[in-house]
């Protein structure tokens, strides 16, 4: 089962890097979202894929007697999902505002929209 997840994680990372190297800001944002999902899946797979036994330790034992699922990666993934979703929505709002102001979603054209000569900021107060 871990082999399938390893291939899937590799495909996610490949697709994310391909999209993040694009010139359109929407593709870059989709690449960032896929990259976050790939990292979450990597953490989940690294925490062992065991579904038969819950992580419960008997009272008389100090450690679990059988192989159990690790709850820490699952808790980390839940936190990472919330953080990555809020980060993605923030970037989506920034991209939308940039599109409203500049009228384009191409990164190269956004760079050319900066003024060529601006006066320097004040040196002292």
- State the pLDDT at residue 31: 96
- State the pLDDT at residue 43: 87
pLDDT at 3 exceeding the cut of 70:
yes
Q: Is-contact 98 114, C-beta < 8 A?
A: no
CA distances from 65 to 49, 54, 69, 121 (A): 17, 12, 12, 66
pLDDT at 115 exceeding the cut of 80:
no
**Distance between CA atoms of 80 and 32, rounded to whole angstroms?**
13
pTM greater than 0.85: no
Q: What is the pLDDT of residues 32-91, one digit of tens each?
A: 999 999 999 998 888 776 666 666 777 888 877 777 777 788 888 999 999 999 999 999
- State the pLDDT at residue 49: 67
Q: In order of start, what are the domains of the chain with their CATH numbers?
A: 2-56+66-106 (1.10.287)
């Amino acid at each position: 089962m871990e082999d399938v997840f390893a291939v899937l994680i590799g495909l996610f990372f490949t697709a994310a890097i391909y999209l993040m190297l694009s010139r359109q800001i929407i593709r870059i944002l989709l690449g960032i979202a896929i990259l976050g999902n790939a990292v979450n899946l990597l953490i989940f797979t690294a925490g062992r894929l065991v579904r038969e036994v819950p992580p419960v330790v008997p009272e008389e034992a100090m450690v679990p007697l059988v192989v159990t699922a690790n709850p820490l990666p699952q808790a980390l993934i839940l936190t990472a999902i919330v953080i990555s979703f809020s980060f993605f929505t923030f970037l989506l709002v920034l991209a939308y505002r940039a599109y409203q102001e500049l009228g384009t979603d191409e990164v190269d054209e956004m760079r050319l929209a900066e003024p060529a000569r601006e006066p320097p900021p004040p040196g002292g107060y």
